[in-house]
Amino acid sequence: MTGGSGVIGAAICRALARTGVHVIIHAHRGQARAQVLAQDIAAEGGSASVTVFDIADDQQVALVIQGLLETGSIQILVNNAGTHQDALMAGMVLETWHTVINTNLNGFYRVTQPLLLPMIRTRWGRIINISSVAGIIGNKGQANYAAAKAGLHGASKSLALEVASRGVTVNVVAPGVIDTGMSQEVFPPERIKDVIPSGRKGQPEEVAALVTYLASDQASYITGQVISISGGLC
């Protein structure tokens, strides 16, 4: 579970742990939060561990993934790590463009590619990529972020075709406005009804429930899909 120390990532980790799987929580700057999360999961009767690496660093990711695979294949992968650096395109510097693409899109490749063959050999796997409605409908000031997420959609659909016959599914979950605390400034209560047809923000646990379903045996016939969880926003 990359990006497991954030609000949505933590909710997904907790939900997956409740299904009985061992959750490997990835963090970068949020190592302390990830350790607390792993302890909380253990206290609830689940199993979790923490791994730390910079998803934007080729060598670091490769080294850590190699170490993880020494204990066996990873059957469920949730790509959630990401970043955004918002700016209107006319004023966006090249470094800002590259940073967001490198983390959100190239990071998906760095983590996913080395896990594929071990997963394929077991003939069972679930790859779930966390995106955003910005990758579907765009968002002012987020051309870099939307481009990365739209690229993730295309990569996921292509990968789904490549591994479907091996019992591996690949899907995208695209949240809209989720109540993470940080969304309060951008979407105060008075704006919610004007922006979101359902009239409310989504909860991290709702995203986690969808991811948990896609990671289960019951979702074996769902692959190559971009599923929006946005209250009708798109």
Residue 143 placed within a domain = yes
Position 174 confidence tier, pLDDT thresholds 50, 70, 90: very high
Residue 11 placed within a domain = no
What percentage of the chain exceeds 90 in pLDDT?
92
pLDDT digits (tens, 9 = 90+) for 3-56: 999 999 999 999 999 999 999 999 999 999 999 999 999 999 999 999 999 999
Residue 102 placed within a domain = yes
Residue 25 placed within a domain = no
> Which residues, 6+ apart, have CB-to-CB distance to 158 below 8 Å?
none
Task: State the greatest distance between any 2 C-alpha atoms of the chain, in Å, as a whole number.
Answer: 51
Residue 79 placed within a domain = yes
Structural domain boundaries, residue 72? 53-184+223-229
Is 221 labeled as catalytic in the residue annotation? Answer: no
Closest CA to 46 of 22, 24, 26, 74: 22
pLDDT in the model for residue 191: 79
Mean pLDDT of 76-89: 96
State the pTM of this model. 0.95
> Which residues, 6+ apart, have CB-to-CB distance to 43 below 8 Å?
none
When the pLDDT of each residue in the chain is averaged and rounded to a whole number, the result is 95
Position 156 confidence tier, pLDDT thresholds 50, 70, 90: very high
Residue 69 placed within a domain = yes
Q: What is the CATH number of the domain that holds 126?
A: 3.40.50.720
Q: Using the predicted structure, report yes or no on whether residue 95 has a pLDDT greater than 70.
A: yes
Residue 108 placed within a domain = yes
Number of domains observed in the structure of the chain: 1
Strand partners, 130: 173
CA 106 – CA 110 distance, rounded (Å): 6
Q: Using the predicted structure, report yes or no on whether residue 118 has a pLDDT greater than 90.
A: yes
CA 162 – CA 145 distance, rounded (Å): 26
pLDDT digits (tens, 9 = 90+) for 180-217: 875 555 567 777 888 899 999 999 999 999 999 999 99
Q: Quote the distance between the C-alpha of residue 98 and its chain's center.
A: 19
The pair of structure tokens assigned to 56 is 């934007």
CA 73 – CA 65 distance, rounded (Å): 10
Q: Pairing mode, if any, of strands 168-175 and 76-79?
A: unpaired
Angle (deg, nearest 10), helices 7-18 and 204-214 = 50
Residue 207 placed within a domain = no
> Which residues, 6+ apart, have CB-to-CB distance to 186 below 8 Å?
none
